Structure 1
Amino acid sequence: MSEATVICIVGAGPMGSSVLERICSGAAVRRDWTGKRLDIHIVDPYVVEGGSIWRSSQDRNLWMNTLPDSVGLFTDETVECDGPINPGPTLWQWIEASREADRASDQAREKSRVSKRDRWPARFLMGEYITWFRARAAQTAPDWVRVIEHRAKVLDITRGHSPGRPEHVWLSGRKSPLECDRVVLAQGNLPVLPDGNELAMCAQASNLGASYVHPRHVVDESFDHVRAGASLLLRGLGLSFIDQVQVLTVGRGGKFVRTPEGRLTYAPSGREPRLFATSRSGVPLGPVPVYKFDRPPLLPDNMAVTDKAVRAALGEPATAFERLTLLIVAEIELSYLREISSLAGASESAWQSQADSYLLQMRETGELPDTPTCPRVNDEPFTPRSFDKPMAGQSFESTAALQDWMIDYISGSIKRVLSPASSPQRAMLRALSRSEAVLRRHYLQSQGEAAPLVRSLQDLRHKRQIMAGGPPWPRLEQLIALCRAGVLTFLGPSDAFEFVPEAGMPFRLTPSALGRSFGFLHAVESRIPAPGVENADDSLRSRMWERGEIIDRSFWRTGSTGRAGLQYLTTNGDGNPLSATGEYILTRHVVGGNTSVVVPPGLPRVRTNSGVLRFTDRVAQALLRSLEDPTSE
């Protein structure tokens, strides 16, 4: 048998593990690989735990944000890909199959809790599922394929000089490199370095017995230094905030208890800090949906975000993003109004006349028309133009009054997500999905060169997050209990805070809804770090950046820190990274949400023609083809 071909995959999370399975299954059916040997190295400090984010050793109180029967890493018949379809169990099916066999205490208790498809599992179970999936891919691969795992960190990748071994991968704890034919970077969203202001603030706060934490993944954080009763400001009300609250409450011994009347309450342990929360919008993200349409949508096709309208917007590059934003908001509003009109008993002809007038006025003025008068149904509080800023213009006489308002707001979001009745909110989500499909199609046709489309796709995702990108609804119910117990205080919207070293409480915040100043001993940026390239806290990424072997495509936005918002590795459709010389490095591939290839965020969804699995398969098949054709290097 000939000398082995060597591939190295950097990262053992969902993306890296999926690429491994796609390479193994693809090579098995390719005749050109008959009689050859293939060694696949997979490197990750958490290789035995499912990768960094999903590591199986993380806090057991942290939940996934998706139901177990909706996610899985196996391809199914809906996935359109060149590689073979290899069905396998979803996360739920794996939990069911392994429940009786697993006797370990933590695993057994959690699998027992997730006894139904509509229970959100702890995140560590996803890490175990990923590890099992990767082991199965290795076990079912042809006998001439060998998978070697390394519990190590990749420090650098350099260009080799030996023929056929162009990539040298340097690992921690190893003096000589792995000499490889191809490398796949599947590191996911890496942590980012704090900027100069953050570093200075962190150092000064530490000298005062206070602390500042810049954006980080919660699995990399420790709050051991925060004492019971200390005031702690959480800046952000998304998924990171939810996780941090869990760590700082039930993670410190507190318990949620339901009364005989059905109200959820919180029994403090006495070890919790005093938590204060704020964000730009001032409210937690809406709960992740659990409902389905019980009938076809009333507006199945786009009316504003059409192919013709998108092409026209892109024809004016200077204003393309603004025009696309106008179209998206119009699409959301029309879907909302269509649903409301139907529920209010309006006729089809009356609705069509209203919609035609709306679209005509928008085209003539280039602005959104005045919202047509429409009855409110079931006191529906959503409006398409303000759902992402529900506290705009709000003011409260006291902190207690704001807490009452917030409890009502959160209760309403839970009620909507659990309501079996059709909701206009669902119609708005459908409109976002339809619009995203149209923009993604144009993005692919543009070969990734239309920056306004990428910005618009990011904006669509942001709107979806605000409406329904939050935690499972039970987590929001827990926020209400924490608020009533006095452990958590909402402060409403704010953009920035002050650091006043000479003050006893060095972090100062004046929320617009309250009009007075608050002081805090600790401050935490409760948000996942935005994708970074030049500021990534990773030696491999930094060295590749410095040598010009990767470049970024940046989309700037002004945040509370004033730093660049989004930076993506620039690649082609096969994941080959673009270098500073303008050439693609064909012996390397990059996969993940941190590239310029737009893929749906999160884990692969089953029976949805998963964009994640389509992309990992495309990269795997391109890699195998390049090894069959020596001229591709």
Structure 2
Amino acid sequence: MGRSQSIRTAIIGAGPRGTSVLERLLAHSAAQPGSRPLHIDVIDPYPAGPGHVWRPDQSRLYLMNTQAFYPTLIPEDPRLAPPLAGTTFDRWRARQQRDPLPSLTADERSELAALTSKDFPSRALYGRYLRCALEELTANLPDGVSIRFHETSARSVRPAGNGTFDVGLADGGSLPADSVVLALGHIPSRLSPEQRDLQSSARQLGLRYLPPAIPADVDWSELPAGEPILVRGMGLNFFDAVGQLTEGRGGKFIDAGNRLEYEPSGQEPLIIAASRRGTPYRAKAALDGYYPLSVKLRFLTEAALERFAAAGIRPGFDHDLWPLLHRDALWAHYSTLVRSQPVAVPDRSEFLAALDDALRPHAHSSANWEQAVQGVIALHVDPRHRLDLLGLASPLAGRSFASRAELDAAVVDYLLDDARRSALGEQDPVKMAIGALHHGRAVLKTAVADGGITDESWVAGLRGWFESFVEGLASGPPALRSEQLAALARAGVVSFVGPDPRFGVDRGTGMFTARSPWVKGPPVQAKTMLEALAPANRVSANASPLLEQLLADGLVRPRLMMTAEGAPVQATGLDVTPHPYRPVAASGSVTRNLYVLGLQLSAAQWGTAIAAEAIQPGRPAYRSGQRTLRDADEIAQAILGH
């Protein structure tokens, strides 16, 4: 097939990232009138705009992990081509409250009526926003642009000569394309060997095993009432599962004055929760913005990144970047302590001056700065007010329990203390230390993108320990979820296994089992086991027919990284060139006119966001905040030849 007079591009994946590429193609086409005609094929079996994850028809109990002021599909960068239509989610929310669209459902109107800028919207409502944004865009097509939506899956992408492609569809058809964008989002994944063993044992013994899945895809009615259910994982998917099995079955939370109580419906199972830490993620602090305003990074700054670059240093995570962020977290904690609890540090001016001096990188080598800081803290701060930063992620570490009842009581205490701290917001030292990590994560996304740190540092440091550490502290649910979980534990609906759980199958009793080495007593047993985890985001373990074809044909390959010992390890994402992201083929050549955006960039970008960050006036704005939208913009320009 020869190159046509018009430009034909195929976007595979119609969720937020695919829609971002579509939005940028329209913006640039409008900004350059008289360009070659453009035809866009958008391919996804799920509704265009929301895609798979954000479907508007899903349960309203599934909440976003960010407040209404945070997300946007539409860029706000004045350096980019101006958008044709659409706005941020928060402005859309306010507009619907003033002048609701006739197409809004009763449930959508009801949620919008009570939703403030600082509330956590349902994923269903965000999906409605995405759908509305797409409808506004397609109602404002520039001259010479046509779009066709294909509600099916792409099964293959193969070269068709002269730099073009043939896109094979699941319905048997095919599409010619000059360029293809892979915006695949969450894709099916093969199970790990352990998960396959559990699934196989379940089939043999007549047990019920639910593998990792997007929560909205799970048939929760399969899980029986009144029976124990073993749940592995206490991250965000865990709270989704708990919501469906409690409120989703008619249970009610009641405000009993100083705490929540849970009134069961009688349809709940007994949820037995297990995770490596033994506790859920910490809850988000109550803030007016995405980042705490009282916390300002002093060490891990974008200026520090520029100094590394100017000195020709490719920083390592553990040696160069983490010590700076560690300093910022310590300063955030102790400066907040002095501000919010003056009696905790009687000689606070002297203490802050000494701490500031001890923290300064120029004054100490990386080998002894922590010792100097600890000396200052020991001299001025009572032990009960000192920060154990790494210990925040493992609140049960160093403890053992005589029974699971004792463990449950300890987890409830942790949940309520964490919710109390969240309510204090910028007045709580612990939450502000976590706030510094949250600020720092935004800077790290810029620092490590496109090979910004060494491979061995990425493997051993960033992904090796820091990612799970910071996720458990800074990516948690609204504090209400912690209070609700405590109420469910008090009501006997939820109990816990304990840290470092070991899972298995007892073939004698025909049951799944789990036990913690730190909790006395027999293992817990259940006929049902639920993996409260998202499918693994590893391109080498994918179960997507399209991605498997691309790998088999050598058009793409996983990224290999080298450990400190010189051993190659396969990274989670595709091997790509720096932005705009084109995949590297198995031969090492670059696959021209093929682009990647989103989760499959996890070996080139770290912490890929679920959405771009809307700009809040007067609030910190980091370069990583709208990175996904800038990436989409660069891809659009490359497709159009700009």
Q: 2: CA distance between counterparts of 1:285 and 1:156? A: 39
Q: C-alpha offsets along residues 185-223 of structure 1, whole Å, 9 cap, x if unaligned?
A: 111132311134422321221332212233222122223
SS at structure 2 position matched to 1:54: coil
SS at structure 2 position matched to 1:40: strand
Q: 2: CA distance between counterparts of 1:382 and 1:441? A: 28
**Could you say which residue in structure 2 is the equivalent of 1:144?**
144
Select 1:248's aligned residue among 245, 255, 259.
Answer: 245
**Could you say which residue in structure 2 is the equivalent of 1:385?**
390
1:463 and 2:469 aligned: yes
1:394 and 2:399 aligned: yes
Equivalent AA in structure 2 for residue 174 of structure 1: G
Q: 1: CA distance between counterparts of 2:636 and 2:458? A: 28
Deviation (angstroms), 1:314:
10
Select 2:265's aligned residue among 262, 269, 285.
Answer: 269
1:45 and 2:45 aligned: yes
Q: C-alpha offsets along residues 229-256 of structure 1, whole Å, 9 cap, x if unaligned?
A: 2211111111000001111112222222
**Could you say which residue in structure 1 is the equivalent of 2:55?**
55
Q: 2: CA distance between counterparts of 1:486 and 1:146? A: 57
Give the 3 Å change call, closer, same or farther, for CA 205–254 of structure 1 in structure 2.
Answer: same
Whether the aligned pair in 2 keeps the contact of 1:138 and 1:146 (CA below 8 Å) is no
Select 1:283's aligned residue among 265, 279, 283.
Answer: 279
Give the 3 Å change call, closer, same or farther, for CA 588–81 of structure 1 in structure 2.
Answer: farther
Please list, as runs of the form range in 1=range in 2, the aligned pairs for 1:19-418 lying within 5 A after superposition: 19-30=21-32, 34=34, 36-48=36-48, 50-76=50-76, 79=77, 81-84=79-82, 88-99=86-97, 100=100, 101-102=102-103, 104-114=105-115, 116-161=116-161, 163=162, 166-175=164-173, 177-259=174-256, 261-292=257-288, 297=294, 300-302=297-299, 306-307=304-305, 321=318, 324-341=321-338, 343=342, 344-357=345-358, 363-365=366-368, 371=374, 372-373=377-378, 383-418=388-423
SS at structure 2 position matched to 1:69: coil
Q: Once structures 1 and 2 are overlaid, which stretch shifts more, 591-600 or 334-343?
A: 334-343
**Could you say which residue in structure 2 is the equivalent of 1:561?**
none
SS at structure 1 position matched to 2:241: helix
Give the 3 Å change call, closer, same or farther, for CA 374–21 of structure 1 in structure 2.
Answer: farther
**Structure 2: any 5+ residue segments left out of the alignment?**
564-568, 616-620
SS at structure 1 position matched to 2:17: helix
Whether the aligned pair in 2 keeps the contact of 1:70 and 1:605 (CA below 8 Å) is yes
Q: 2: CA distance between counterparts of 1:203 and 1:467? A: 35
1:591 and 2:589 aligned: no
Q: 2: CA distance between counterparts of 1:406 and 1:17? A: 42
Select 2:527's aligned residue among 493, 503, 521.
Answer: 521
Deviation (angstroms), 1:555:
7.1
Give the 3 Å change call, closer, same or farther, for CA 61–504 of structure 1 in structure 2.
Answer: same
1:509 and 2:515 aligned: yes
Please list, as runs of the form range in 1=range in 2, the aligned pairs for 1:530-609 lying within 5 A after superposition: 530-553=536-559, 567-572=572-577, 573-595=579-601, 596-598=603-605, 600-607=608-615, 608=621
SS at structure 2 position matched to 1:286: coil
Whether the aligned pair in 2 keeps the contact of 1:19 and 1:617 (CA below 8 Å) is no
Whether the aligned pair in 2 keeps the contact of 1:192 and 1:529 (CA below 8 Å) is yes
Whether the aligned pair in 2 keeps the contact of 1:341 and 1:374 (CA below 8 Å) is no
Whether the aligned pair in 1 keeps the contact of 2:445 and 2:624 (CA below 8 Å) is no
Q: C-alpha offsets along residues 498-521 of structure 1, whole Å, 9 cap, x if unaligned?
A: 222232423232352446422222
Give the 3 Å change call, closer, same or farther, for CA 299–614 of structure 1 in structure 2.
Answer: closer
Q: C-alpha offsets along residues 56-94 of structure 1, whole Å, 9 cap, x if unaligned?
A: 222232111222232221122xx3644335674332332
SS at structure 2 position matched to 1:363: coil
Equivalent AA in structure 2 for residue 526 of structure 1: A
Give the 3 Å change call, closer, same or farther, for CA 103–353 of structure 1 in structure 2.
Answer: closer
Equivalent AA in structure 2 for residue 486 of structure 1: G
SS at structure 2 position matched to 1:575: coil
Q: Once structures 1 and 2 are overlaid, which stretch shifts more, 428-437 or 487-496?
A: 428-437
Whether the aligned pair in 2 keeps the contact of 1:340 and 1:377 (CA below 8 Å) is no
Q: 2: CA distance between counterparts of 1:241 and 1:229? A: 19
Q: 1: CA distance between counterparts of 2:540 and 2:130? A: 29
TM-score, length-scaled by structure 2: 0.85
Equivalent AA in structure 1 for residue 244 of structure 2: V
Q: C-alpha offsets along residues 402-449 of structure 1, whole Å, 9 cap, x if unaligned?
A: 222222211111111111552223442343245445544443585676
**Could you say which residue in structure 2 is the equivalent of 1:431?**
436
Give the 3 Å change call, closer, same or farther, for CA 555–251 of structure 1 in structure 2.
Answer: farther
TM-score, length-scaled by structure 1: 0.87
1:499 and 2:505 aligned: yes
Q: 2: CA distance between counterparts of 1:186 and 1:624? A: 16
Give the 3 Å change call, closer, same or farther, for CA 469–27 of structure 1 in structure 2.
Answer: same
**Structure 1: any 5+ residue segments left out of the alignment?**
558-563
SS at structure 1 position matched to 2:427: coil
Give the 3 Å change call, closer, same or farther, for CA 292–591 of structure 1 in structure 2.
Answer: same
Whether the aligned pair in 2 keeps the contact of 1:280 and 1:493 (CA below 8 Å) is yes
Q: 1: CA distance between counterparts of 2:407 and 2:379? A: 29
Q: 2: CA distance between counterparts of 1:445 and 1:95? A: 35
Give the 3 Å change call, closer, same or farther, for CA 447–472 of structure 1 in structure 2.
Answer: closer
Whether the aligned pair in 1 keeps the contact of 2:559 and 2:570 (CA below 8 Å) is no
Whether the aligned pair in 1 keeps the contact of 2:582 and 2:590 (CA below 8 Å) is yes
**Could you say which residue in structure 1 is the equivalent of 2:566?**
none
Q: 2: CA distance between counterparts of 1:95 and 1:532? A: 35
Q: 2: CA distance between counterparts of 1:311 and 1:613? A: 22
Q: 2: CA distance between counterparts of 1:538 and 1:453? A: 26
